[in-house]
Structure 1
């Protein structure tokens, strides 16, 4: 909760712009949890510093702008982006190859579920752009659909828990655990689909 409190203080002083910029940094893969950032934006709305509905709109734009930026970087620079130090640290060639393989098999589904997989978004979105197999607008539709689910949940959670920090901490923990559960389920679904496809090939 220390990070949450620091973000709340900072966002309360600087408002929407600070939240928007923080989400751009999240999209770039910096070690700043997106869910905590969204909750902090909701908390300052609950404390009366900003309007919660405007905050939801600002955070949606910030999340999509950060994701789109990584997609467009991958699309423009392709595999050359792996030579950039910040990107190579976040996504070494081995990890890139693994994500590319998964994207080739389950592209659209993977882009949608990436929003619920902390630590994987930057790699998946950059790979999606670098493969040139998906148009920007299709990517934005899939990512935006997922964001319409996740972003309002975190912001309104912060809004309603602004004056109940223990309750808020409990639900943040539950929400983060749920995201990991979703991640595990996605991996299991991918493995089952891969196994069924492989079995079908051998049957032929």
Structure 2
């Protein structure tokens, strides 16, 4: 597939598939998949925009179902809160011994978890909302909230409010200003390709650095 000439309309008329993918991507992102949650939200917003303009982006047949921006926003919000709560629950059930699991230890080295714990001690329950706005440490942040046995209702309240502010807003903005976004993408295809490459390199370097630090910790 040519990513630079991606045909958004081919999925804009497959709402069922898109809604399922939203849930799957949010769950995978929550457990550390190196694909930013924001990328999923922006993509969903673009598909909703395409679905709202059948005169420009021709549907495969008259009356074809489309990605509904309101359904997409609600599903994304619920998927995000569910994913965050799942990670919180894992941390609460398994506690600190989970940090000694080889996989978790490699993904989140001690220096990162130390930073997360400092934030939770400093900001208390409000750290739940801070982690929601901080890509890269959402997973260990929500894990720490569970480990420290923050009350579930407080976690749901603060994380839910933070998600309510950030998740639907991104989808609605992209769905409304989609034409401007698509114009930019068409005019700056090379720039978009470079950005995607830089993001990929960043995550590869980050992963290699985490492994290196984990090895150093093991040698000490």
**Secondary structure at the counterpart of residue 42 of structure 1:** helix
Matched with 1:178 is: none
Which residue of 2 is the match for residue 126 of structure 1? 143
| In structure 1, distance between residues paired with 2:105 and 2:12 | 30
Q: Do residues 27 (structure 1) and 30 (structure 2) align?
A: yes
Mapped partners of 1:124, 1:130: distance in 2 = 10
User: Unpaired segments of 5 or more residues in structure 1?
Assistant: 174-204
Alignment of 1:135-150 (within 5 A): 135-150=151-166
Residue 162 of structure 1 and its aligned partner are, at CA, apart by 3.3
Match of 1:155 in 2: 171
TM-score (norm 2): 0.68
Task: Identify if the C-alpha distance between structure 1 residues 33 and 53 changes in structure 2 by more than 3 Å, giving closer, same or farther.
Answer: same
Distance 1:152 1:130 in 2: 29
Using the TM superposition, give the Cα deviation of residue 42 of structure 1 relative to its aligned residue in structure 2, in angstroms: 1.4
Gaps of 5+ in 2: 52-65, 193-220
Aligned residues between the structures? 168
Deviations 1:155-203 (A, max 9, x none): 1122123343145799xx9xxxxxxxxxxxxxxxxxxxxxxxxxxxxxx
Render the CA deviation track for 1:90-141: whole Å, top value 9, x for unaligned: 3122321231122112122221121111112111110110111x11121011
Give the match's secondary structure for 2:178: coil
TM-score by length of 1: 0.72
Deviation sequence 1:18-48 (CA, Å, 0-9, x none): 1111111111121111111011111111111
Query: In the alignment, which residue of structure 2 is the partner of 1:198?
Result: none
| Correspondences of 1:91-130 after superposition (within 5 Å) | 91-130=108-147
2:54 matches 1:54: no
Tell me how far apart the structure 2 counterparts of residues 119 and 141 of structure 1 sit (CA, whole Å).
22
Q: Secondary structure at the match of 2:135?
A: coil
Q: 2:99 aligns with which of 82, 85, 98?
A: 82
8 A contact 2:12–2:48 mirrored in 1: no
For the pair shown, the structure with the greater C-alpha radius of gyration is 2
RMSD, aligned CA: 2.7
Q: Which moved more, 1:156-165 or 1:64-73?
A: 156-165
